[in-house]
Structure formats: structure tokens, C-alpha cells
Structure 1
Amino acid sequence: MSADEGSGQANTALASAIEEAGCTHAALARRVNELGRCQGVVSRYDRASVTRWIQGMTPRGRAPEFIAAALAGYLRRPVTPAGLGFAVQAQRPVAARALAYREDVSETLHTLAELGSTDISRRSLLGAVPFVAAALLDPQRQWLLWLLEEEQVPRLEAVAGAGPVEEVRAMIGMFDEMDNRFGGGGVRASVVHYLSAQVAPMLRQQGMPASQRRQLFTAAAKLAAMAGWSSYDSADYGLAQRYMIQGLRLCAEGGDRVLGGQILAGLSHLATSLGSPDEGAALARAGIATAKRAGSPLGMMRLHAMAARAFAARGDSHQATACLHSATAALEASHGAAQESVWVRFLDHHYLEAEAALVHRDLGEAVQSERLADASVHANADRRRRQAISRSVLATAYLQQQRLDEAIGTATQALDLLGGIHSERSVQALRDFRTRLAPRRTEPIVREFERKARPVLGAAA
């Protein structure tokens, strides 16, 4: 990370926020480093760094964003870099608008069209697009208000013959296949372009039958969610958040609660993975409320699994275990993928095994994590992204049991898999393993692994 710059004046706003938060300088510095590491930014701030910031030094790069996010977590309210006295470049208008859940869906379509166009053809105009945990509260609230106002779950009528809905669904299927084979990073530009340049304008046309229009909004919501996941896989976390928020608004227009719950699951995953498990848990619970009466046990299974991930990241073993039990019960209640919504048919017991392995990893329950991660590795031989993630989790389970040779061997296999996919989620899982190697970095086998991993994972913190 670049060196800090001095303004010559004490930062009283930052000092007041730290005092109100009641955190030590060392604790704040650690949290800033953790949040940066979650987004692939290596920093080594310490309590002296915090003292310098208070004295007027401004950290460069994305550090003000991470400082604001850290203090927001302590204070339980939104905090911005500007509110902490840091001079930051103003967000581009579309990047700011895309964080909002608009009542007028035409504004959503306009935002998606502009965001997608700027993202693909004029990317430099977007500048840095940060993930903003505090911005997740309003979309969640707006969605739940919509949910309360609905008198019943809308039943979408079938559309006979060919038409725009059938075409869009076919494209979704193709994008899904490419995503599963090569990771979201490889398909991201195609998804964003198709959504913003073709589907969004299609939804602004007049004269479409109401039932077809609702289904097209739902398909567009799925595409926006895919744009979010593929941006996540490209390490574009701020864009991932914005596409998912806009997808949630489109989903309300289509009236599909199953898909709405899945988009909330995606936002929960994103928040938890980026160091905001409180928001992750809240989003998962909103998703559970959404899908409760939607007749989708598999959708409920995934949402309970996301809640378990969030609680495990918080170190809450009791809640995490309870959520895993609920996920298992939901899975057992399903009558099979063919009886479920098309949006959740990819979910099965292997998916739950993989997510449960991550929960047990974060809770330090290595034996359970090993069993489930190993099962996931064998079940996902043809899905390289899931294979890479599960091998990284399995490596961590071995490490937690002091089986270093097995841990390094398994992590090396995960590293080899990363060469064929474009998936930041897979990279994150292996970075988590590497971080846990820190106490043993002097050992030759660890030094050799770090040498091999550096071109893919970047420098270690």
C-alpha cells in the first residue's frame, strides 16, 4: 500500500469517531487490515498508523473506505470516509445511484443501462467502486416493505410459443454453463452487455402482455444477479453489490419470491465474505422471511446455510449450528429439484456439504470440516471453482489438525486448479488458508508453497 500523506491539521472528526466507538488504536488497525485483506488489499497498519491519521496523515488508496467500514461496525451505524474527515474523490453519479433501491422501476432500468454501458465500454469513467456495507440497509428495508404489501405470492402464467422470455432464459442457461465451467470472471462482460444493452431496453417497450412482462422482469433480475456474482468472481466487489441491489428491485417487479430470496442470499454471501457478517446475517434472515411461503425448500436451505456462514464468521457457534440444522431440515423437506423453482435446481446436498465445511472451518471444528470438504471435493470433480474452494477448505482442516504435509499438498492442488478458472471466490478461499500458515512460515515446505502461490494470490500480509 502506498505511503500516507500529511495534511498538517489534526483530524478531529476521526478522533471523535474512534472515541465514540470505544475501540483501541491497535484494534482499529487490525480491523482495517482484515477488511482490506478480504478485498485483496494488503496493508500492515498498526496503532501508530492510527495515531498518525488522527494527527492529520491521510492513508492512500482504499484505506479511508476500510477505516469507515471498520468504525461503522463498531458504531452500528453508517460511516463514510468524508464523515471521518478524509478528502475522497466523489463517486461517479451512476455508481452512487446503483446503490439505491428505487420505487420507480424505470429509474432502475435506466441505472442498469448506464451502469452496464459505463462498466463495459468506458470502464475508466467509473473509477474505484467500493463495496459499501452500510448501503445494504435501505434495499433490504424497501424489499421487506414490498413483501409486507403483497397480498399473495404472484403466480406467473405460462407464455406459449417463442418470445423474448424464452430467448432470455436460453441465454441465462448458456451463461450459467460457462460460469460453472470457467468461473464468473470469464463470462462477466457478456452478461453485463446482454443485460444492459438488450434486456433493459426490451423492458422499456410498450405493448407487452402483462404476464410476459412479469416473467421478463424476473429473467432480467436473474441476469442482474448473475452480473453481480460474475463481478464478485472478478474481484469487483462494489459492482457486485450494485448489480445485486438492482436485481432485487427488478425481482419485486416480477413478483418472484424464490429468486428474491436467492438474490438476498447472494448479498449475504458478499457481505459476510467481505468482513461484514452482521449484515450478512440480517440479509439471510430477510431472505428466509421472503422464501418462507414460496414453496421452495431448496431455496430455504441455501438461505439457512448463508445465515450459518454469517454466524460462524461472528464466532457464534450456537446460532451457526442451529442454522445448519435448519438447512438440513429444509433439504430433507424438498421433493427433488424437478419440483422446485428453476432458480434453485442447482442446489443439492453437495452444495450444503460445501457450505457446512466452511462453517465448521470458521468455528475451528476441523474434523467435521475435513469430512464435509473431502465429500465436496469428490462430488464436484467437474466443477473447477467449487473443487478449488473445497480443496482450500480441506487444506485448512488438515492444518487445524497439525497435518502440515497434507495441508500443503491439498492447497497446492487447489492452486493448480486456479490456473483454469476466473474466480476471485476461489482465490479468497486459498488466501484464507495462506493466512493461517503465518505461524509456520519459517518451515521450508511453507516457504516453497508461498513462492508458488505468490503469482496467483499476491504478496502475503
Structure 2
Amino acid sequence: MSGNGGSGTSAEKRPNELLRSWFVRSGWSKGELARQVNRRARQLGANHISTDTSRVRRWLDGENPREPIPRILSELFSERFGCVVSVEDLGLRTARPSPSAAGIDLPWTGPQTVALLSEFSRSDLMLARRGFLGGSLALSAGPALIEPLQRWLVPAPPGPRHDPEPSSARIRGRLSGPELDLLESTTEMFRRWDAQCGGGLRRKAVVGQLHEVTDLLQESHPEPTARRLFKVAAELAELAGWMSYDVGLQPTAQKYFVLALHAAKEAGDKPLGSYVLSSMSRQMIHLGRPEDALELIHLAQYGSRDCASPRTQSMLYAMEARAYANMGQPGRCKRAVRMAEDTFTDAEDWDEPEADWIRFFTEAELHGENSHSFRDLAYVAGRSPAYASEAEPLMRRAVELFAEDGEHQRSYALNLIGLASVHLLRREPEQSAGYADRAMRIAKKVRSERVNTRIRKTVDTAVRDFGDLAEVVDLTDKLAVELPETAEAV
């Protein structure tokens, strides 16, 4: 490999007009750009990079540098201009599509997963600062979503997927056990903040932490360390996706979920991968695509069937029930509800440590998910009061448990508004208004556009059906004051 990062190709080159344009507008000299590239390369641990003015001139003349030069140039020009300047904007890597621009069908390899996570989290942070987050992304659905993700099930090729032992030049940067423990505990702290405060308050902090972890993954590590780092990256990417989903950034959320699944595969953690797929399934239900949700859940169940804990399996059954409910299949929905309940009882006898990411799935969550399944069945069946009556005791119990819990404020609010919607289905508007009012009070403390949207939809339904009722009129007035429709900060 050339120490200067050249492409080594003998193909005829054309001047790179895109790179030249950005370079001229930057005001840098060739020597200054070369020095900045070398400085950034050393920060990344790429000590073999030694760029000079002649190399910069060759890039301008059309030579394609090897990684990590394109990414370094992207970062430098982005920082210079205060906006995301992608590798493609610089006219580099024209032989293959951009990782950030690619859809769901991404390469299942460790180095490319790291590069994708790094580039996307960096772009997210920069675009969020400028208020343009997520605008250039598009959601994938149907076969375009499901078929590429099926490769999650394909076994990794034999042999080491990461450096078994770092070179002597990298030993100084090796992570210690306490440092890895701290990274993992920080991820757990972020997860608790999300449950307590919603996705709008700490999302950028999670994305920033994810970007830092991807920097660590670009160094050489022993196999056990690399796997732990990929696991941290997977959990952070899933959480960044979940928070993005919570504040309404749906394409951004899906991209993080996909990258989280790739990182979970690199970590060799199938239960974690199934959890990521369940988050994607929940998003598809929210977006009105229950068939895709069901495919994702079945993929999660099949991929983790031999290693998921009873609690994780129960959560997957509960999500399967939600998908069947939204597809209008009551028989299969009820069977999945029973399986979720039966499997959850086995969790009490499970004597192995549970991963932190599944600890959220308590008895309250179980009742909340299953009650939402019956509530969804009621809507699909033409506002059936019978299904609403099945949902009501489960939802009420979930609300009671979340009130006692005191930590999962967003789930508490979501189940309060769920109970309000159930009472509307049962044509009990006074009770509905009371629960919606309680949900509104919790929503003021939680930065969650998802919560706010569900409250507004429920109040709109109450106004449509019972607009003359005094309790509903009061509720509408409170909504306008307490939860005005303003853009969420992310």
C-alpha cells in the first residue's frame, strides 16, 4: 500500500472538478490541506499516511485516494464550510455508491459497518446543528427492506473477523477492561434517560457517543475487545434510532436500526439483533405497514430461537400480536398474546443475567403491549366495543404499574393515552378525557413527539365524536395551551 494513500490505478484520469471547486473556495493552499490531512490521520491512528503538496495536486488531477483519505477530506471540508460535504460531493469514490446514500442493502462486513456508522453519525450531528436532519433520506419498505435484512441470518465466514492481536504500534491505544465497562454503563445511562425524558432531550448526546465508539473501532483490538465495542455500537445505534423514531425522524431512525443490526452481527449477539429487529417492527406498525412488521418479527424470532431469554421471546411474541392485530387477524393475534403471557412467566425462573436492553420489558410493558393489540383489533374491526373491553383491564393494569414504577415516564404517558382511546371506543368520553388529561401532564415532562402526536389524535377523535361534552371542550382548551404544535428540538 502506498503510504500516501494513492489509488495505484493506471487508468486514465480526468481532473476532479468537484474537489477543485471545494478546494478553491476553502482558501487553503495545497501544503495547508496536506498538513491538515496528516494531522487528522494521526488522530485516527493512520500513521502510515504522509501527504504532501504533490499528492494533493494528483487528487485534484483525478487520482482517487484510498481510505481513510476520502473520509478525512469529507470531514475537513465539512468543518470548513459548516455543512455536510460528502465524499461524493468531492468527486471521490465514483466507482461505488456512497455508504450514507446507500439504502438498506449494505455490505455485511466489519470495516464497512464501522465506516457507515462513522459517516452517518457524523452527518447526523452536523445536519442536526443546521436543522436539516433526515431530509435527504427515504424510508425502505416491502421486499426492499426485508430481503437485504435476511442476510443477518447468514453465518459469518470462518476465521477471525477482527485483528486477533493488535500490532505493537497500536498497543498503547488498547482499551482496558474498566474503560469498556464505562462505555457499557454509559450506554445504560442513556437508555434510562430516554425512558424517563423521551428521545428529544439526549438524542444528540447518544449520536455523539456512537461516533466516538466508531473512532475506537477503527483501531486494532483483540477479538474479545472488538466484539464488546461492536456490541456497544449496536446498542447506541439502536438507541439513536429509537430516539429518532420517538421525535418523528423516521428515515433517520430506520438507517440507525439497520446499522445497529449490522453491528450486532459483528458482535455475534443474536438476541441483541432480534431486539433491533423488534424496534424496526414497531416502527413499521407505527407507519401503517403491519405486514412488514410481521416479517421483521419472524426474522427476529427465527434468528434468536436458540439463544434468546424468555423475556426477549415474550417481547417478540407481544410484537407479533401487534402486527397480527393491525392486519385484522384476531385468531393469530390472540394466540401470540397467550404465547407472550406464557413465555413471560418463564422469565421468573431464568437464572442467567439479563441484558440491560431487555430489562424494560416488565409486567407493565407486557400488559401495555397486549392491551394495545386488542385496542388495535378494535379499530381494525370497525371500532369494536368487544375488543375494546378486552383491552381495558390490561391497559388499566399497565397504567397502575407504570405509575408505581415512576421511571418509565414515556411508557406511562403512552398507556394513559391508550386507555383514553379505549374509553372512547367504549363510548365513555368522560373517563377518556380524564386519562387524556393525565397523559398531557406527563407529556409536558417528556420530549417525545410520538407521545404528543398520539394525544392530539385522541383529542381530535374525542372532539369529532363528543365535541359538545364539557369535559372534551375543557380538554381541547388544555391541549392548545399545554402542548402547542411546535417543532421538536433534536
| TM-score grouping bracket, smaller chain normalisation | 0.7 to 0.9
TM-superposed deviation, 1:452: 2.9
1:420 is aligned to 445
SS at match of 1:405: helix
2:323 is aligned to 310
The alignment status of 1:140 with 2:149, answered yes or no, reads yes
TM-superposed deviation, 1:373: 1.3
The alignment status of 1:356 with 2:374, answered yes or no, reads no
C-alpha separation in 2, matches of 1:126 and 1:386 = 25
**Cα deviation 1:170-204 (Å, max 9, x = unaligned):** 111210121121112211100001101x1001111
Structure 2 counterpart of 1:362, one-letter code? D
Using the aligned pairs only, state the percent identity.
26
1:202 is aligned to 216
- Structural mapping, 1:14-53, within 5 Å: none
TM-score by length of 1: 0.72
TM-superposed deviation, 1:160: 11
Q: 1:340/1:205 Cα in 2 relative to 1: closer, same or farther (>3 Å)?
A: same
The alignment status of 1:262 with 2:275, answered yes or no, reads yes
Q: 1:443/1:304 Cα in 2 relative to 1: closer, same or farther (>3 Å)?
A: same
- Structural mapping, 1:409-448, within 5 Å: 409-437=434-462, 439-440=464-465, 442-445=467-470, 446-448=472-474
**Cα deviation 1:141-166 (Å, max 9, x = unaligned):** 2112348x899xxxxxxx99734421
TM-score by length of 2: 0.68
Would you say the 8 A contact 1:427–1:457 is kept in 2? no
Q: 1:348/1:337 Cα in 2 relative to 1: closer, same or farther (>3 Å)?
A: farther
1:319 is aligned to 332
Would you say the 8 A contact 1:164–1:216 is kept in 2? no
C-alpha separation in 2, matches of 1:233 and 1:125 = 14
Aligned residues: 358
SS at match of 1:363: helix
C-alpha separation in 2, matches of 1:311 and 1:203 = 39
TM-superposed deviation, 1:96: 2.9
Q: Where is the helix percentage greater, Structure 1 or Structure 2? A: 1
2:29 is aligned to none
C-alpha separation in 2, matches of 1:190 and 1:434 = 33
Q: 1:126/1:322 Cα in 2 relative to 1: closer, same or farther (>3 Å)?
A: closer
C-alpha separation in 2, matches of 1:362 and 1:452 = 27
- Structural mapping, 1:121-200, within 5 Å: 121-123=126-128, 124=132, 127-134=135-142, 135-146=144-155, 162-196=177-211, 198-200=212-214
The alignment status of 1:375 with 2:400, answered yes or no, reads no
Would you say the 8 A contact 1:183–1:385 is kept in 2? yes
Q: C-alpha root-mean-square deviation of aligned residues, in Å? A: 2.6
**Cα deviation 1:52-80 (Å, max 9, x = unaligned):** xxxxxxxxxxxxxxxxxxxxxxxxxxxxx
C-alpha separation in 1, matches of 2:398 and 2:457 = 18
Would you say the 8 A contact 1:98–1:115 is kept in 2? no
Structure 2 counterpart of 1:326, one-letter code? M
C-alpha separation in 1, matches of 2:238 and 2:350 = 21
- Stretches of structure 1 lacking an aligned partner (at least 5 in a row): 1-91, 152-158
C-alpha separation in 1, matches of 2:434 and 2:150 = 46
The alignment status of 1:109 with 2:114, answered yes or no, reads yes
- Stretches of structure 2 lacking an aligned partner (at least 5 in a row): 1-96, 160-173, 379-386
Q: Specify which of 299, 302, 307 is matched with residue 294 of structure 1.
A: 307
Would you say the 8 A contact 2:103–2:140 is kept in 1? no
Would you say the 8 A contact 1:298–1:340 is kept in 2? no
Larger Rg: 2
C-alpha separation in 1, matches of 2:319 and 2:133 = 34
C-alpha separation in 1, matches of 2:140 and 2:388 = 32
Structure 1 counterpart of 2:195, one-letter code? N
C-alpha separation in 1, matches of 2:416 and 2:455 = 9
Q: 1:340/1:279 Cα in 2 relative to 1: closer, same or farther (>3 Å)?
A: farther
SS at match of 2:288: coil
**Cα deviation 1:241-278 (Å, max 9, x = unaligned):** 00010000011111111101100110000111111110
